[in-house]
Structure 1
Amino acid sequence: MTSKRNPLAYLLMGLLAHVPAYAANNRAFDAAVEQTVQRYQLPGIAVGVIEDGKIVYTNTTGQLESGKPEAINADTVFKIASNTKAMTAAVLARLVDQGKLKWDDPVTRYLPQFRMNDPWVTQNMQVRDLLVHNSGLGLGAGDLMLWPEPNDFKRADIIAGLAHLKPTHSFRSHYAYDNLLYVVAGEVAAAAGGKPYDQLVKQEIFEPLKLQRCQVGEWKRSDVGNVAQPHMRTDAGAKAIREDGDVAPDITSMAAGGIRCSLNDMLTWTAQWLDPSRAPGWLSDAQRKAVWTAHMPMPVSKRMREWDNSHFSAYGYGWRLSDVDGVWKVAHTGTLAGMYSSVILLPDKKVAIVILINGEGEDARAVLGEVLTKHYTAPKDSKDVAWYAAAIEREEAAKPEAHTVPDTSARVPATAAQLGQLLGRYRDPWFGEVRLCAAGERVEFVSARSPMLRGQVMQLGDRWLVDWDDDSVDAEPWLAFSTPVGSKVTHMRLSHIDPDADFSYDYADLDLQREGRCD
């Protein structure tokens, strides 16, 4: 005996069956976002999730600037920081498809002035090497030419400065994250593409993919509107720092971390990586594969093993590759002063997660990203924000003494008489002049080329340190001096007071040689 069945009825039943699941997901995601915002006192956040090519979840909360009424929405422009690197890699991949360069071309073919500290490395550095953090330079080497912003280093200064940065490892033997070589990569793209980097990004990415709110190069804040401002955490709450003026400048770090985008644009960007048919012909299969190939092994951290059961970690071209609970993960993070971002793709599950934060959000980004990821990789064993936040707190508590911040509360202002012959003008071959001189009743450390690195010299016992004038410059340094027996001071060196300070304050790479007395 048979009966006729209405296909439309079965289709409706199938669609309705998914409604409770999506509703439950959204409630769980809302709870995770709310818990994250509350726990870490974030000024604002924008979060989005894609499943099977569809945006299934968005949540935006908070203000563009704390204390002001303008609310964040899905079109708010955030600094995506190092998530820019995937776009720089994509520009180069497009140029490869167009026959304008090859991944194994020497960098000097496009930038004859390019020099590394070792002539052999200079000759053998290929375009691909610029993208995978294998140069032999130390972690964040030379980043003081990029940050803190603003400063007056140009991209030509970056290329010239590389020759003075000494390697810490052999070429291609060791992973160490760097930013300067992505700046170089942007200049290679400009040389091969025949246009400045910012024009290439618009031509090769923003326009064909219809990323309508993304910004690169110089632009007017009043023309764009709806721009999130970075914040730092204070006892009184989130405080805006380094706010944009009316004109956002063409910053030197653009190709390494200078692009800004909205949540909607980042969801569009990630959707085409999950489904190339959304942008037919934009990038060849060969180049999509090249970008997501494991080119440089990375360490698998203790946290990755414990939280994600990870077995491998590697760097592609502008993307980090790993496994989470047996699921392939392609991801990256972005970090700038007061701005944090995260992009997480689970290609085999056709899932993308985007997190944009306009406050101090390193731990917030980590715990929220983990909760959302685990919803797809281990749904029966997922944990909440509180669990991961507590795990991070236990990690901090278990740090060895060498990674704890020493107590400097007893410091007092240093005097010119106390510093004596240590005062003077010093110069580093890539960073330029630094003055350690009396200024009224203070003794100041002043960088000639990085104006935010200006502060008062303090004394703590028999040691010296710098208290930066701008509180957003959050990595205070110890000062140490070389004084050969029977001669005058020859060198000044800086080191982190906080051993876990952001690596972009690469004080260890400075070799400040004394040039003379203060004027």
Structure 2
Amino acid sequence: MKCLVAALLLTFSIGVPRVAQAADEAPDAQAIDAAVRATIDRYKLPGIAVGVMEDGKVTFARGYGETVFGSGDPVTTKTLFKIASNSKAMTAAVLARLVQQGKLRWDDPVVKHLPGFAMHDPWVTRHMTVSDLLVHNSGLPEGGGDLMLWPEPNLFTRDDIVNGLRYIKPAYGFRAGYAYDNLLYVVAGQVAAAAGGASYEELLRREVFKPLALEGCRVGEFRLTDAGSVAQPHSRDGDKIVRTRGDAELVPEIASAPAGGIRCSLDDMLAWARNWLVPTDAQKQWLGDAQRAEMWKARTPMPVSQRQKRWDRTHYYAYAYGFRLADVDGEWTVSHTGTLGGMYSMMMLLPDRRSGFVFMINGDGSSARTVLGEALLKLFTAPEASLGVQGYADDLAKPPQPIAAAPAKAKLPDIARRKLVAAEALRDWLGTWRDPWFGEVRICATGKEVEWRSLKSPKMHGQIGRLDGRFLLVWDDEAVDENAWLDFARQGDVRTLRMAKFDPQGDFSSDYEDLALTRVGDCPTAKPGG
């Protein structure tokens, strides 16, 4: 088995030759435009920017819809979007540049550059390398510690994240499997800063944005008025499209930038893609063949879903440095997606064709991204086998096929039936609580009711109610994605609190299950006249 895995890794390290060319003709603008418009109509998207490259040339680049729904401000190829986890490849590229410059090595222990870094297991602390930070095989639970990143803005610093990792218990063995995480990309940004002698933001501008002429990309603090056209995220309220998590005039620097905090325009993302598909001589000086190969070398095998097998005939799926590698209809693909509160993106490259596409959505676009990504990909790899936007959307909307002996998914209780809890009913649990990585939480009376409030994540405040015999925390702020069950317990004089997502299938970044809160004191006394 080890030999088979090694062979597969080697295959994806050097690139997968195409088994067969499904279509001699590249997709035309009419087919691309039709797929985009069908997706907009099906999913009621407020705005989207779409670009396609064929044989190294941009053949399609267009904005649709509005930066803010109903505003009349159009999305253009220069509109900035949050690219979310498509930021990870840029962070990896900063490290690759530093490796090329001899300022660090991929196999350097992280502690060589960050002496204060520690994981839960001291052995893992000593042996974790710079490479390990980028490939999702650390043993951290999926999305472990993401409450230190989102919702934004919050008061967690990158140093808080580095220091907090040691308290997050592993979910599996080090290098023993795949589970997506974000925190270690933040650590990677700190490693880059230590080795490069500048902040992550400065390094990104110096080592990536400037040499590749990504003129619109933004990271760190900036003013909206200085950035030109900026798409704002949206959500759905029934049939209505609603702006959510909108930017203030001064967009702050955020700790999550190395994992998912960069903004770029479609023009920028196409330039970024072109650098990988058809690099110029100058770009090969920027990053040579050796480090380009390292960036696209398969590192961690990923599970192949039944949908990937059915739609794409995929046999192998792996994570590289900020990119995902897969075979699709016998062709090699390099890709990544981004998801961040009302913003969705995808970059898909077909290196053997020197082709690919990028798109960014500023609405509730999870399904839209999956469907449009597949429809555009099929225009390249197997147009004759494509189900089209409506076919893929219908297939995606079908309930999953039941697995024999698998328990049926429990129906969630109606949250509208919850009753707010009186302070008197929770008097034994009122007070100040602390988790070793998330910090201080206050569960205190606000009049006759009870509020849960985080000191380091100001958006995380909500009212405690009771539903079906359990305590339920419902957030006041729409920027907090998942409501949470609360389970209080007492062991002698120690009072503890564990939390869990209201919807067990909810976003893994709402990692309440990793919290271990202990009561450490009373609620603060209200000041006279306060």
Same fold (TM > 0.5)? yes
2:151 equivalent in structure 1: 148
Which residue in 2 is equivalent to 1:409? 416
Deviations 1:59-79 (A, max 9, x none): 311111122121110000000
Q: Which runs of 5+ in 2 are unaligned?
A: 1-23, 525-530
Q: Which residue of 2 aligns with 1:182?
A: 185
- Mapped to 1, the partners of 2:161 and 2:274 lie a distance apart of 34
The Cα offsets for residues 93-113 of structure 1, whole Å up to 9 and x where unpaired, read as 111111111100011111111
| Aligned position for 1:304 | 308
CA RMSD of aligned residues (A): 1.7
Aligned-partner Cα distance in 2 for 1:236–1:315: 37
Any idea what the Cα deviations from partners look like across 1:272-313, whole Å, max 9, x if unmatched?
101123623111111111110001111111111111111001
* Deviation, structure 1 residue 41: 1.3
2:473 corresponds to: 466
Q: What is the match of residue 522 of structure 2?
A: 517
The alpha-carbon distance between structure 1 residues 22 and 215, as it changes in their structure 2 partners (threshold 3 A), is farther
The equivalent of 1:495 in structure 2 is 500
Q: Does 1:212 align with 2:215?
A: yes
Write the letter of the residue equivalent to 1:263.
Answer: L
Q: Deviations over 1:36-57 (max 9, x none)?
A: 1111111110011000111111
**Alignment-derived partner of residue 39 in structure 1:** 42
Aligned 1:51-450 pairs, distance under 5 A = 51-235=54-238, 237-277=240-280, 279-395=283-399, 401-402=408-409, 404-450=411-457
Q: Does the 8 Å CA contact 1:231/1:240 hold for their aligned counterparts?
A: yes
Taking the aligned partners of 2:487 and 2:467, their CA distance within structure 1 comes to 13
Distance 1:198 1:23 in 2: 38
Asked if structure 1 preserves the Cα contact closer than 8 Å seen for 2:481 and 2:510, the reply is: no
Say whether the 8 Å CA contact 2:26–2:379 is kept in structure 1: no
TM-superposed CA distance for 1:122, in Å, is: 0.6
The answer as to whether partners of 1:422 and 1:489 remain within 8 angstroms in 2 is no
Distance in 1 (alpha carbons) for counterparts of 2:246 and 2:440: 27
**Aligned equivalents of 2:187 and 2:411: distance in 1?**
35
Give the secondary-structure state (helix, strand or coil) at the position aligned to 1:467. strand
Cα shift readout 1:333-380 (whole Å, capped 9, x = no counterpart):
001011111110111121111010011111100000000001111121
Cα drift, residue 398 of structure 1: 5.6
SS in 2 for 1:99: coil
Secondary structure, in 3 states, of the residue corresponding to 1:470? Answer: coil
- Could you tell me how far apart the structure 1 residues matched to 2:305 and 2:299 are? 18
Q: Is the 8 A contact 1:91 1:204 kept in 2?
A: yes
1: distance between equivalents of 2:27 and 2:212? 32
**Structure 1 residue runs of 4 or more that deviate by more than 6 Å after TM superposition:** 21-24
CA contact (8 A) 1:405 1:499 kept: no
CA distances 1:406-425 after superposition (whole Å, capped 9, x unpaired): 43331121111222312222
Q: Residue 140 of structure 1 contacts residue 504 of structure 1 at CA under 8 Å; is this kept in 2?
A: yes
Is the Cα–Cα contact under 8 Å of residues 27 and 379 in structure 2 kept in the other structure? no
List gaps (5 residues or longer) in structure 1: 1-20
Give distance in 2, aligned partners of 1:245 and 1:236: 26
Name which structure has the greater RCO, CA cutoff 8 Å, separation 6+.
2
Q: Do 1:134 and 1:174's aligned partners in 2 also have CA atoms closer than 8 Å?
A: yes
Tell me which amino acid in the other structure corresponds to 1:346. L
Report the 3-state secondary structure (helix = DSSP H, G, I; strand = E; otherwise coil) of the residue aligned with 2:424. helix
Identity of aligned residues (%): 53
Give the TM-score taking structure 2 as reference length.
Answer: 0.91
Instruction: Tell which deviates more after alignment, 274-283 or 198-207.
Output: 274-283
Question: Which secondary structure state, in structure 2, belongs to the residue aligned with residue 409 of structure 1?
Answer: helix
How far apart, in 2, do the equivalents of 1:466 and 1:192 lie?
43
User: Does residue 1:476 correspond to 2:480, yes or no?
Assistant: no
Q: Residues 401, 489 of structure 1: CA spacing in aligned structure 2 closer, same or farther, 3 A cutoff?
A: farther
* Cα deviation, residue 513, structure 1: 0.6
Give me the whole-angstrom Cα distance separating, in 2, the residues matched to 1:380 and 1:22: 12
Distance in 1 between the 2:464 and 2:493 partners?
20
The alpha-carbon deviation at position 404 of structure 1 amounts to: 4.8
User: How far 1:403 moved relative to its partner?
Assistant: 6.1
State how far apart, in whole Å, the 2-side matches of 1:511 and 1:36 are.
43
Given that 2:234 and 2:363 are in contact with CA atoms closer than 8 Å, whether structure 1 keeps it comes out as yes
Cα offset for 1:22? 8.5
